[in-house]
């Protein structure tokens, strides 16, 4: 069932009744745009996600029609859900995965120290360290590991412009 049909059902409008489709579709678009403006990533602001769908439905129910006695309560419900979504690393932040490998053997390097935007983590058995950040350009990172050297001792830069950013790093054994 499409989001329009689901929202119409929540409004107690039959799927066969198309008289309100334009208004409901406009409200769905407004809710989606509001979520994106608030910081929910475009990749997550899709109608197949249960929490996004619930937020959109609450927004539409709060803003549909005239003299809705529940409008204020529904708007508060939408605002609370929106706040939770925008504070969640899963919905509002991008994932940056660093993969550190030996430059010769391509084996994962466990225990490498990755510093990204001032936060430091050690890589796990797969040689990965995962960070979260808002979209932006010029985040700095640095990688160091015992018995390895980097080709570059300077801070490196990465741009976070997609929901998932992968950074592959090869270190040279000493």
- CATH homologous superfamily of domain 93-173? Carboxypeptidase-like, regulatory domain (2.60.40.1120)
Q: How far apart are CA 143 and CA 119, in angstroms?
A: 12
Give the pLDDT of residue 27.
97
Residue 78 · residue 59 · CB < 8 Å: yes
pLDDT at 1 over 60: no
Residue 63 to residues 38, 66, 80, 131, Cα–Cα distance (Å): 18, 8, 16, 37
Q: Spell out the residues 6+ positions from residue 145 whose beta carbon is closer than 8 angstroms to its own.
A: 100, 109, 111, 112, 113, 171
Instruction: State how beta strands 164-173 and 94-102 pair.
Output: parallel
- The confidence band for 117, taking pLDDT boundaries of 50, 70 and 90, is confident
Give the pLDDT of residue 130.
92
Query: Strand, helix or coil at 12?
Result: coil
pLDDT at 168 over 70: yes
For residues 147 and 47, the model is more confident at: 147
pLDDT in tens, 36-76: 988 888 888 887 889 999 999 999 999 998 889 999 999 99
pLDDT at 153 over 70: no
User: Domain coordinates of the chain in residue numbers?
Assistant: 3-91, 93-173
pLDDT in tens, 75-111: 999 999 999 998 887 787 788 899 999 999 999 999 9
Give the pLDDT of residue 45.
87
Q: Among the residues of the chain, which ranges form H helices?
A: 3-10, 21-38, 50-63, 71-87, 89-92
pLDDT in tens, 4-32: 999 999 999 999 999 999 999 999 999 99
The closest of 13, 78, 30 to 51, measured between CA atoms, is 78
């Amino acid at each position: 069932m499409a989001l329009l049909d689901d929202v119409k059902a929540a409004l107690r409008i039959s799927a066969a009744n198309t008289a309100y489709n334009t208004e409901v579709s406009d409200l769905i678009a407004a809710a989606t745009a509001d979520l994106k403006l608030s910081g929910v990533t475009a990749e997550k602001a899709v109608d197949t996600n249960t929490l996004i769908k619930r937020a959109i439905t609450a927004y539409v129910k709060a803003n549909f029609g005239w003299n809705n006695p529940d409008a204020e309560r529904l708007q508060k419900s939408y605002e609370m859900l929106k706040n939770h979504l925008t504070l969640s690393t899963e919905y509002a932040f991008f994932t940056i995965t660093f993969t550190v490998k030996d430059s010769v053997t391509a084996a994962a390097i466990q225990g490498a120290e990755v510093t990204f935007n001032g936060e430091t983590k050690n890589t796990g058995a797969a040689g990965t360290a995962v960070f979260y950040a808002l979209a932006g350009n010029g985040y700095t990172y640095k990688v160091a590991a015992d018995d390895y050297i980097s080709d570059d001792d300077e801070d490196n830069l990465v741009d976070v412009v997609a929901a998932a950013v992968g950074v592959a790093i090869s270190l040279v054994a000493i």
